[in-house]
Amino acid sequence: MIKLKLSGGKIFGYFYFLIIFFSIIILIFVFLFLYKNFYKTITHSQEVLLLSKEVAMEDINIDKFTEVIKKIEGKTKPRSLNLD
């Protein structure tokens, strides 16, 4: 039989080690959560604000747009062969 000699000091030493270990793990998860959900969101919103100033504020003529798309589709379609 193996007998373990555990004194009060050793138990408290292990207990303190476990408390410190788990608190470090919890702090890491908290920092990752804050980075992912707050810091990245703020930086993305700043990028959107900066890029929105560079976007041209012109109205798009949908009729001309669809006409151009139809012409492009007509050019990219394969032609049919007449074997008469």
Per-residue pLDDT of the chain (84 residues; tens, 9 = 90+): 566 676 767 778 888 999 999 999 999 999 999 999 888 888 888 888 888 877 767 778 899 999 999 989 887 777 777 776
pLDDT reported for residue 24: 98
82 inside domain:
no
Run of H or E including 5: none
Domain holding 72, by residue range, is 8-76
29 inside domain:
yes
Number of domains in the chain: 1
Q: Does the reported pTM lie above 0.95?
A: no
70 inside domain:
yes
Neighbours of 24 (CB within 10 A): 10
